[in-house]
Amino acid sequence: MTEVIRMRAIEKRFPGVHALRSAEFDLMTGEVHALMGENGAGKSTLMKILAGIYIPDGGSVEVNGAAVHFSGPRAAQAMGIGIIHQELALMPDLTVAQNIFIGREPRNRWGVLDEAQLNRDAEAIFAAMKVPLDPRAEVRKLTIAKQQMVEIAKALSFRSRVLIMDEPTAALNEAETEELFAIIRRLKSEGVAIVYISHKMDEIRRISDRVTVMRDGAYVGTVAAADTPIETIIAMMVGRELDKTAAAIPDLTAAPVALSVRGLRAGRLVRDVGFDLRRGEILGFAGLMGAGRTEVARAIFGADPREAGEIAVHGQPRSIRSPRDAVAAGIGYLSEDRKHFGLALGLDVRGNIALTVLDRFSDRFLRVDDAALAKAAASYISSLAIRTPSDRQEVRLLSGGNQQKVVIAKWLLRDCDILIFDEPTRGIDVGTKAEIYRLLNDLAAAGKAIIVISSELPEVLRLSHRIAVMCEGRLTGILPGGPACSQQEIMRLATQRETTQEGASA
């Protein structure tokens, strides 16, 4: 293998943020090189410099031994460097082929779009990838995994020999992840060099050859993936040992019921679901993709219409037909898609924290008490350790983990008694995960009633006092948390269509 990329002493500053501090990275042909670090460590910023999206403030970038100075993404593409962002940038109303060659469509001698040639060119790329995908299909009708394949094909259409993948499996299930890994191995065998950014430790060991770790914008070190214990990589990332012990499970049998759900039905994926949630309890929801966990949460919160069912809060029946009704009942919902449903990306940190309680900080003439608002925001920025230059920083500029903390602060300021966390640590590094785990346990200890929906079984087992398991829209069982439960038992219920006695009595 030969060196295709060399980055040295890379510097990058944004207003109020020193994002990269003498960072470095190198990449060999035909390797998968994982780039890891906590949220805000500078991984994506460094790769955006390599892809020509950002211009560095200092340092050097070499491609195949020659110094380069990219003026923009097209210049990097011309050098064979492609990037697939965590948030896919496809046009849903166009076909697969149209997305791949947007702005570069083949035309006949009269200048008219040659649709047949366009589709043949796309078919040739998918044939080389060994992916059976119809270039004529509308992108909006594809699964996220298939859209990921379209993004890869788009990058390869530029004859990319370097492919940067930023959290490529964040929204994929296990089967889709295996499909992606097969593509990666095939590209690797053809000499394509791949940068793989991920927080998932099991994936890193399976797919990568080397691991480079960054912390606080600086290079920490590079190690061989196969020979380095996961604990060592984590220590490099966070600079400290993490507490892996689960909190003790309290006896909540005598605690009052905060939320009672009976006979809940909504759409195709919520079918006669019922359970109780007690004060001070963390109730985990587990199940395979499409089991209906998020749909249950959205129905309870009034984000999706209910067809049937009863909801009681602190023993009182509540008619929840909208999120406004849910918030009035003391229920907060942290969506799995924080950027679309949890944050106002154009507002600053202070404004986002106060989104649900602006009336508290304004008088009848709608004049805002900035001093009181700033004091409240500062309190949560401190208590949740939100890393931001100031409360006036636009929330879109924060890392994923700090954005998640802002969403949590928003609902804590609202003082909701019942909190629903949907995939609370998706796309978040191990250090921030530990902080959020500690926060959830502290909230439960303070008497909050919490639902946690997670696709990561170790996370469900670590956090939950009890675990509700769903399969195809039904609650198939409720298990005790802690050492009494196993991943095998959860998976048995997650693949069992009929409701068990435990589920029926939940």
Q: Is residue 245 over pLDDT 70?
A: no
**Same-domain status, 199 and 138:** yes
Split into its structural domains, the chain has a count of: 3
Phi and psi angles of residue 321, each rounded to the nearest 5 degrees, phi first: -115, -5
Which residues does residue 23 pair with via DSSP β-bridges, in sequence order?
A: 10
Burial of residue 48 (number of CB atoms within 10 Å: 0-12, 13-18, 19+) = buried
Residue at token pair 């040992």: 241
**Same-domain status, 36 and 56:** yes
Give the total residue count for the chain: 506
Q: What is the pLDDT of residue 386?
A: 87
pLDDT (average), residues 129-136 = 88
**Same-domain status, 305 and 289:** yes
**Same-domain status, 53 and 142:** yes
Per-residue pLDDT tens digits for 196-226: 998 778 888 899 999 999 988 999 999 999 9
Question: For the ranges 34-43, 137-146, 169-178, 472-481, which has the lowest average pLDDT?
Answer: 169-178
Q: Is residue 505 over pLDDT 50?
A: no
Q: Does residue 410 fall inside a structural domain?
A: yes
Q: Looking at residue 318, which CATH number applies to its domain?
A: 3.40.50.300
Q: How sure is the predictor about 451, in pLDDT bands with cuts at 50, 70 and 90?
A: very high
Separation CA 16–CA 12 (nearest Å): 11
Q: Which helix (H) or strand (E) holds 179?
A: helix 174-189
Query: In angstroms, what CA-CA distances link 165 with 184, 386, 500?
Result: 10, 27, 42
Give exposure, 405-444, as e/b (b: 16+ Cβ within 10 Å): bbbbbbbbbbebbbbbbbbbbbbbbbbbbbbbbebbbebb
**Same-domain status, 285 and 369:** no
- C-beta separation of 249 from 481 below 8 A: yes
Q: Is residue 443 over pLDDT 70?
A: yes
Q: Are strands 193-197 and 32-36 parallel, antiparallel or unpaired?
A: parallel
Q: Does residue 68 fall inside a structural domain?
A: yes
pTM score over 0.85: no
Q: What is the pLDDT of residue 270?
A: 93
Q: How sure is the predictor about 176, in pLDDT bands with cuts at 50, 70 and 90?
A: confident
pLDDT (average), residues 112-131 = 89
Q: How sure is the predictor about 122, in pLDDT bands with cuts at 50, 70 and 90?
A: very high
Phi and psi angles of residue 437, each rounded to the nearest 5 degrees, phi first: -60, -45
**Same-domain status, 213 and 291:** no
Q: Is residue 333 over pLDDT 50?
A: yes
Higher pLDDT pick, 1 / 438: 438
Give exposure, 199-233, as e/b (b: 16+ Cβ within 10 Å): bbbebbbebbbbbbbbbbbbbbebbebeebeeeeb
Q: Does residue 248 fall inside a structural domain?
A: no
Higher pLDDT pick, 310 / 341: 310
Q: Which of 397, 415, 433 is the last residue of a domain?
A: 415
Query: Tokens standing for 403?
Result: 């954005």
Q: Does residue 89 fall inside a structural domain?
A: yes
**Same-domain status, 404 and 462:** no
Q: Which of 238, 272, 307 is the last residue of a domain?
A: 238
Q: How sure is the predictor about 172, in pLDDT bands with cuts at 50, 70 and 90?
A: confident
Higher pLDDT pick, 33 / 39: 33
**Same-domain status, 422 and 408:** no
Q: What is the pLDDT of residue 243?
A: 59
Separation CA 187–CA 168 (nearest Å): 15
Which residues does residue 28 pair with via DSSP β-bridges, in sequence order?
A: 3
Q: Are strands 308-313 and 257-266 parallel, antiparallel or unpaired?
A: antiparallel
Q: How sure is the predictor about 501, in pLDDT bands with cuts at 50, 70 and 90?
A: very low
Q: Does residue 220 fall inside a structural domain?
A: yes
Q: Which of 207, 238, 269 is the last residue of a domain?
A: 238
Q: Does residue 245 fall inside a structural domain?
A: no
Higher pLDDT pick, 149 / 23: 23
pLDDT (average), residues 227-237 = 87
Q: Does residue 338 fall inside a structural domain?
A: no
Look at residues 91, 99, 52 and name the one whose alpha carbon lies nearest to residue 71: 52
Phi and psi angles of residue 15, each rounded to the nearest 5 degrees, phi first: -55, 115
**Same-domain status, 312 and 276:** yes
Higher pLDDT pick, 304 / 430: 304
Per-residue pLDDT tens digits for 374-433: 898 899 898 888 888 889 999 988 877 788 889 888 888 888 899 999 988 876 777 778
- C-beta separation of 406 from 395 below 8 A: yes
Percent of residues, the chain, with pLDDT higher than 90: 48
Q: Is residue 435 over pLDDT 90?
A: no
Range of 398's domain? 344-415
The residues, any chain, with a CB within 8 Å of residue 289's CB and separated by 6 or more, are 173, 455
Residue type, position 21, single letter: R
Q: Is residue 258 over pLDDT 50?
A: yes
pLDDT (average), residues 76-101 = 89
Q: Does residue 244 fall inside a structural domain?
A: no
Query: What's the mean pLDDT when you consider all of the chain?
Result: 88
**Same-domain status, 282 and 427:** yes
**Same-domain status, 422 and 411:** no
Q: Which helix (H) or strand (E) holds 266?
A: strand 257-266
Q: Is residue 242 over pLDDT 60?
A: no
Max mean pLDDT range (52-56, 186-190, 253-257): 52-56
**Same-domain status, 424 and 407:** no
